[in-house]
Amino acid sequence: MSDNDELAVIDGIKPNVYLQDGVEQDVKSASRRVSSILQGSSTYKVKRTWDHYYCTCPAWRNQGGVPVNARSCKHLKSLLGEKYEEARMKLKNPDGPPPSKGKAPASKTKPASKAKSTAGKKRKKGDDDDDDDGDHAEEAQEEKLKTKKMRGVPAPRSKGKAVVKEPDDHEEIKDEQKHEDEGMEGVKSSDELAEINGIKPNVYLEDGAEREVSSMSSSSTYKVKRTWDHYYCTCPAWRNQCCKPNFDNLQQGGVPINARSCKHLKSLLGEKYEEARMKFKNPDGPPAKGKPVSKAKAKKLKKAEDDDNEEEDDEDAGKGEGAPALLLANKWDLEKGADPTGWWISEKLDGVRTFYDGKRMISRLGNPFTPPQWLLDKLPTDVTLDGELFSGRGEFQSTVSIVKTVNSPHWKGITFQIFDIPSRGTSPFEDRVSFLKELFGPEGSHACAEVVLVEHEKAKDRQHVLDKLKEIESLGGEGLMLRKPGSLYEGHRSASLLKIKTFYDAEARVTGYVSGKGRLAGMTGALKCEMESGKKFNVGTGFSDKQRKNPPKIGSIITYRFQELTRDGVPRFPSYIGEPVDKDEPKDAEIPEHRKPGAKSALAAE
């Protein structure tokens, strides 16, 4: 359970069952009468998606006037707990009614005829009662089913319930869109892809939902999936639209990941919707044609598309011709590092290192980022800046996803944290900071909320640094940086800049999987990995359920974190961090001799 998860604990109340983002669970309806008549079980799917939960029951779907992240139903209360749901509703919709009343929204359907007004009244009464799942309406349906069964009339499909007749693909799409339309009013305010310029998709997919689409020209079947603010398809046409944005002409450098389309997406979502989405996501780009580039070019573009992770141990690895000359840090040992008294302390941010050249933002390897123009317009054009794109502690993977996309609304949650100004690199560090304050300080010429100066404080002694490290780590931060007083900006690795972390990070190659057991049955329990040294070990923590269902591929490189090595020279309690985008070989951590296994006993023997 993550400390950074706002739904983990609300006002001191924890859910009965904790669901991570993307995790789903089946919940059975308490109404057994309808189930027995339909000869099937009324089971609904509850899923956690980002900052809210959804349920497939009618009561949840039909709350059109309620924000998506402030909807509840009796299945959510049963699974998560009533007190927790009350606290969540208060957090997400403080001005709304408490969920304890359990009122379901009024039905949008009208009685078929006046002769059926009695059944209609039953449905209305059911909507106003405590049962927020609409089970009273189902009782009216039950009577109807009994009558039709006696007459030999086939039973109709029940919304979201057991299916009497299996529909074909066309009916399925129509039914899914019908359900989407019923709840769309509440979705619009929080889901940018629910409707674009008044155009809705033929099939609405929530974040994490996927669907198979058959090829119209062959027997192949491709998978379409919604991921955050974009869709992807497993077809070659979608995959090969690799993105290396050309800032002079975005039309000639591939397509951003959230602005790609293909004929399968157009078939599923609708051509007009896809045209509107392309225009929204990539206004300066051409309309999506889904035409793949050659395999050789796709491979080259894919390599360029892969961006940097924050670690800089091999600063020359993979650098492009346009890579900026950045000041890179050495490591400071907690026990035997140089005396830090008088050095400047700042937090080591868990963001994406970014160089601004007065016109654009690029990574430390020279790959361009895709910030919105409104962010670039807030920066001066006559200086260069060194900093990090940052969306919060522990949000590194989200930050990486955002900086790779064009026109994503999530850029609004990104800040450009500036810690240096290379264009004034010949001035002492203190003078450079003073100049940055003139630009971005509270009274600065370019002061704005999206650009933040990283705070520095002078170290009193070693213990001050260690105490500060403990404080930052307790807040979920990654570590500290130390800058030498009076130092210049050097465009290479230098002892004037030091980084401090309690944990060590390293890279390993995935060689296999260990099957999960118990709650993790059917998922990946651990990754089998091989170090640079050739030693083998398993990584079994640090994964979300979503990652366990779709783990890194065999042969891929992962970053893991650990505190120390065992006597066998393998990491003790390693934790999965992610897949670094700028590494293609395993790399063991650099551990000082006195912190290696057996070092303490050897020193004691002396």
Res. 549 pLDDT band, cuts 50 70 90: very high
DSSP string covering 549-585? HSPPPTT-EEEEEES-B-TTSSBSS-EEEE--SS--S
Contact 56, 42 (CB under 8 A): no
Shared domain for 291 and 214, answered yes or no, is yes
Q: Domain residues for 433?
A: 328-500
* Predicted local confidence at residue 57, as pLDDT: 85
Q: 134: helix, coil or strand? A: coil
Whether residues 341 and 472 fall in one domain: yes
Question: Domain check: are 82 and 28 in the same one?
Answer: yes
Give tens-digit pLDDT for 425-439.
Answer: 999 999 999 999 999
Report if residue 163 sits inside a domain. Answer: yes
Q: In this structure, are 143 and 75 located in the same domain?
A: yes
Please answer whether residues 325 and 355 qualify as being in contact, where contact means their C-beta atoms are separated by less than 8 angstroms: no
pLDDT recorded at residue 99: 54
CB of 361 within 8 A of CB of 354? Answer: yes
User: How many CB atoms lie under 10 A from the CB of residue 225?
Assistant: 15
Distance between CA 544 and CA 540 in Å, rounded? Answer: 11
Mean pLDDT of 298-304: 48
pLDDT single digits (tens) 7-32: 888 988 999 988 887 788 888 876 54
End-to-end CA distance of the chain: 45
| Residue burial 442-467, b: 16+ Cβ < 10 Å; e: rest | eeeeeeeeebbbbebeebeeeeebbe
- 471 and 532 within one domain: no
Residue 503, pLDDT above cutoff 60: yes
Domain count, the chain: 4
User: For the range 75-83, what are the long-range contacts, defined as Cβ-Cβ under 8 Å and sequence gap of 24 or more?
Assistant: 75/27, 75/29, 75/44, 75/46, 75/133, 76/46, 78/27, 78/30, 79/15, 79/16, 79/17, 79/25, 79/27, 79/46, 80/15, 80/16, 80/17, 80/53, 81/13, 81/15, 81/16, 83/13
- State percent of the chain over pLDDT 90: 39
Half-sphere exposure (Cβ direction) of 412: Cα atoms closer than 13 Å: 3
pLDDT for 117: 42
One domain for residues 511 and 471: no
pLDDT at 300 over 60: no
In the set 159, 161, 281, 348, the catalytic residue is 348
Average of per-residue pLDDT values in the chain: 76
Rounded to an integer, what distance in angstroms lies between the CA atom of residue 61 and that of residue 153? 29
Q: Are residues 487 and 522 in the same domain?
A: no
Q: Are residues 387 and 466 in the same domain?
A: yes
Does the annotation count 348 as an active-site position? yes
Q: Residue 65: what pLDDT?
A: 66
pTM value > 0.75: no
Distance CA 365, CA 70 (A): 43
**Letter for the amino acid at 353?**
R
374, 504 Cβ separation under 8 angstroms: no
Co-location of 224 and 157 in the same domain: no
Does residue 387 form part of some domain?
yes
Q: What are phi and psi of 54, to 5 degrees?
A: -135, 155
Q: Residue 90 carries which DSSP code?
A: H
pLDDT of residue 132: 39
The whole-number average pLDDT for the span 36-45 is 59
Within this chain, do residues 249 and 101 fall inside the same structural domain, yes or no? no
Q: Which of the residue ranges 86-95, 306-315, 450-459 would you say has the lowest mean pLDDT?
A: 306-315
DSSP state, residue 70: G
pLDDT digits (tens, 9 = 90+) for 222-277: 899 987 778 989 888 888 876 444 433 333 345 777 888 999 999 999 999 999 99
Q: Residue 166 phi/psi, 5° resolution?
A: -75, 120
- Give the E-state strand segments of 24-141 in sequence order: 24-28, 43-49, 52-55
pLDDT band at 520, cuts 50/70/90?
Answer: very high
Residues 567 and 496 reside in one and the same domain:
no
**109 band by pLDDT with thresholds 50, 70 and 90:** very low
